[in-house]
Amino acid sequence: MTELIQEIHRRLTFAIISHPDAGKTTITEKLLLFGGAIHIAGAVKSGKTSRTAVSDFMKMEQERGISISTSVMGFEYKGRKVNILDTPGHADFSEDTYRGLSAVDSALMVIDSVKGVEERTRQLCVVCRMRATPITTFVNKLDREGKDPMELLDEIERELAVEVRPATWPIGQGKLFKGVYNLLDNKLYLFRPGEDQLPVDIVEIRSIQDPLLDEKVGPSLARKLREDVDMISGVYPPFDRDAYIAGRETPVFFGSALNNFGVRELLDNLVSLAPYPTPKKAEEREVPPEEPRFSGFVFKIHANMNPKHRDRIAFLRIVSGKFERNKMYWHVRSGKTFRTANPTAFMSQDREIIDEAWPGDIIGIHDTGTFKIGDTLTEGENINFQGIPSFAPQIFRTIMNADPLKEKQFHKGLNQLAEEGVVQIFSKIHQPNARVLGVVGQLQVEVLKSRLEYEYNASCKYENIDVSIAHWITSDDEKILKNFVDANSRKILVDIRGNYVFVSDSEWSLNRVKDLNPAIRFYSTSEMVDKRA
């Protein structure tokens, strides 16, 4: 087996997805804890401690206790190099989450046992199904009184259109929660609640009929567990790894991330079951990870991860071959060569310089404005990877500098945050100097305002625009497209890549324009019209 194949088989790159407040960032920290990457977990939002979650490094994230930007963390565990993407759960940051999903090979879906399947979970599961992304499910918060586990399994199948296969099973629930039973290896694990470090009092019971089970959890819970396990074996077929890899079946784990219940079993099974790096689709062809020639794509850009250095980092997912420090690579969009002297591996905002990286790895490249989201690096081939679009905004504002003395800071901040994908910035055809802000949700506007002030020492003000629907437009006939743009110049915006966007105030007016202009194609994402300018 070649070195490239060995390194590919070691990699495990997955995203953690969920509805807000399901415990996604908490479970990220506990996975890092069990993986040895950190020694004590931070509270996501707690008045009792000054610690904040490792994966939430932005000032606004720490203040609000939510994930605003995808963060990347890596560690070694049981012979595998694990790369975790902690994605935002809030719908207003959908684009960041969808781009993160383009850079992984599987996903871990976290569901709140009290609330069950929620709206954001449904939306993210649809994206995973579109890409046939394998999903592992963790039902969280079993230490609280919630829905019956059997009821939850039915809900997951019904709401998310994926077959479930219980991998662990809870012993009790709420105040009676005692631990989890592993159905895959017939072992029971009991933990002490309230730990923020690795538990040391794990009790292992090798058979569900072992009388030690009754002694440790009590006869009533032991009897209930035996009944549940018997029912599960009769209702659900055995776990099929091929069906899981194909995205048709999800193994389900139960536990309480806050109390370290079930997280070790989850991580152990992830490293044994989850796929190693998979082929990625480009416009020109599919690129397998085993291909010896290097290729990779930028799925995220983040400025000021370390405010002390005011740096800008491009997140690069390696698709094929071996990446080497100081080697010249081909930047496809610009048609120029590029060399990176200080590529880095991530641990949230902390980074260390690396000399090499392999398919599945996500590395940071210091960027002085060279990269845009969706850019490709190769060893010379012109390929463009798919699945990294911008989504049509639903809220529009004319954005202006509120302090004439900070004009330079305002424009620098606005441009960098737009290139990051925090917001979308457009210009008007009939007013080239006017800048229009476009966002999916109101919280993005607050993030922009906060980051402009905190990171760029700039301030802004807004004016409402009476539009709420946007579509990127294109046509096979450039003359027809130009005539349409000229005739509708007051309803045309231009994005940062030079693509035209048609805006309207209602579905009725949009449909009327479509009917009158059959040669114009309208798209709700930028992927189909991206000129890669």
Range of the domain at 476: 395-523
pLDDT, averaged in runs of 10, over the chain (533 residues): 91 90 84 74 38 43 46 87 76 65 92 90 82 93 92 94 94 88 81 57 72 88 92 92 95 89 87 94 94 94 65 89 95 92 71 89 88 91 81 84 90 83 84 82 80 88 86 94 94 89 91 95 75 42
Query: Are residues 358 and 233 part of one domain?
Result: no
Q: What angle do CA 254, 257, 263 make, to 5 degrees?
A: 65
Kind and range of the H or E run holding 243: helix 241-245
* 165 located within any domain: yes
CA 243/CA 168 separation, integer angstroms: 18
Query: Are residues 493 and 458 part of one domain?
Result: yes
CA 121/CA 497 separation, integer angstroms: 31
**Structure confidence by residue, pLDDT tens digits, 471-521:** 999 999 999 999 999 999 989 999 888 899 999 988 899 999 999 999 999
Query: Are residues 413 and 490 part of one domain?
Result: yes
Q: Kindly report the CATH number assigned to the domain that includes residue 320.
A: 3.40.50.300
b (16+ CB within 10 A) / e for 449-486: bbbbeebbebebeeeebebebbbbbbbeeeeebeebbe
Q: Name the residue with tokens 């490792």.
A: 54
Q: Kindly report the CATH number assigned to the domain that includes residue 487.
A: 3.30.70.3280
* 50 located within any domain: yes
Q: Name the residue with tokens 């719908």.
A: 91
Query: Are residues 415 and 368 part of one domain?
Result: no
CA 205/CA 45 separation, integer angstroms: 35
User: How far is the CA of 411 from the CAs of 376, 402, 403, 458, in angstroms?
Assistant: 26, 12, 12, 9
309, 343, 378 - which closes a domain: 378
Find, among 253, 257, 255, the residue nearest to 244 by Cα.
Answer: 253
Is-contact 151 161, C-beta < 8 A? Answer: no
pLDDT value at residue 58: 45
pLDDT value at residue 61: 45
Query: Are residues 35 and 57 part of one domain?
Result: yes
Find, among 52, 15, 27, 45, the residue nearest to 131 by Cα.
Answer: 15
**Structure confidence by residue, pLDDT tens digits, 432-445:** 778 898 887 777 78
**Structure confidence by residue, pLDDT tens digits, 94-114:** 566 777 888 999 999 999 999
Is-contact 37 75, C-beta < 8 A? Answer: yes
CA 4/CA 320 separation, integer angstroms: 9
